[in-house]
Structure 1
Amino acid sequence: MNRRSVLLLLASAGSLGACVSQPLRTGSLDGASSAPYTLASGDRLRIIVFGQENLSNIYAVDGSGRIVMPLIEAVPVAGMSTSQAARAIEARLRGGFLREPRVTVEIDAYRPFFILGEVTNSGQFPFVNGMTVQTAVAIAGGFSPRATRTTAEISRPTGDGIVTASVPITAPVRPGDTIVIKERWF
């Protein structure tokens, strides 16, 4: 009888040890969250060339990270900020087309975010400013009955590659992030 009690106690202690939540690894995303926004494939840009109404329009960043404009054709903008993209377009226009081009680049629509796992509707959704993991889950129709409701895994493309970390559901989401909602065990 005594052996049975000890084995039962050890088995229950082992089960409870599995319930202890793991520490969140957010250090790797902290630098990526505070970095300025850089353009990438999927962004739509509103480009205004002052005094040139036929060049001012909305342009999409294509799969290779470029925008295609009349006269100057393809301009690589991936990895640039909006002000850097404006300077690159000005430099191209200055090369034989306009004397003193003045260009403004604004983001018309951010690239989408992706959400997978234990949500009602996984997939690709439009990004909304100020979004957190919790609002992303709401956009995806809410948690499934088996979902972990306190943490998520975010994969974020950075200049150094893709960074993945476990974060609380109050963590901010950036355009292009992939969110995975894991299944809970109990």
Structure 2
Amino acid sequence: MSARILMLCVLLATALAGCAGQTRIDDRFAASLSDPYRLGSGDQLRVVVFGQEGLTNSYLVDAVGNISMPLVGTIPAQGRTPQEIERAVTSALAGGYLRNPSVSVQVETYRPFFILGEVRNPGKFTYVDELTGRRAVAIAGGFTPRAVERQIEISRVVDGVVMEARVPIDYPVLPGDTIRVLERWF
């Protein structure tokens, strides 16, 4: 009798483990990978005003989501693209400071990503291009012995809403994402 119960438990655990590997990613979450990059707190911008060395500099998007520049003051950056900031700075400078200003804005340093859970060194890390869950885990020192190694959970702000999804380990990670490496039960 106990052998049958044990066999039934093993079969049930195997069936449940097969279901755990299946993921359904929300369409908006997946679409965020192809959307234009939106700025957020912690991004470092390089603003070049051609012919105006005093205005050309690096500017940090502050905790409120703004950048502060000489002459033009505070410019809202949170949720905007670098091209939108470029137009805003150009417009502000043309409003009485410069004739026909030529401005270029690029992201110099992306905001960090965060990783927690079953990794050796959880914390905040500098974002690098083409980051995936697997690379993020490597940056955080690798998996602990109890880690689920095939999938991760990512929290990401999409259209102003925090969304979470369980994704394969090689899924792309964006700046500002929070990754959670899950703990396995067996």
Q: What's the CA shift string for 1:126-156, capped at 9, x where partnerless?
A: 0000110000000000001110100000011
Q: What are the ranges of 5 or more consecutive residues in structure 2 without an aligned counterpart?
A: none
CA-atom RMSD, angstroms?
Answer: 1.4
SS in 2 for 1:20: helix
For residue 71 of structure 1, what is the aligned residue in structure 2? Answer: 71
Larger radius of gyration: 1
- TM-score normalised per structure 1: 0.94
SS in structure 1 of the partner of residue 155 of structure 2: strand
Q: Which has the larger displacement, 40-49 or 20-29?
A: 20-29
SS for the counterpart of 1:48 is strand
Deviation per CA, 1:98-153: give whole Å up to 9, x if none: 11111000111000000000000000000000110000000000001110100000
3-state SS of 2:156 partner: strand
> What does 1:30-109 align with in structure 2 at a 5 Å threshold?
30-109=30-109
1:1-186 → structure 2 map (5 Å cutoff): 3-4=1-2, 6-22=4-20, 23-28=22-27, 29-186=29-186
TM-score of the pair, normalised by structure 2: 0.94
CA displacement at 1:42 relative to structure 2: 0.4
Query: Counterparts of 2:144 and 2:6 in 1: how far apart (Å)?
Result: 33
Aligned residue identity for 1:140: A
Q: Which amino acid is the alignment partner of residue 63 of structure 1? A: A
Question: Identity of paired residues, percent?
Answer: 46
**Letter in structure 1 aligned against 2:26:** G
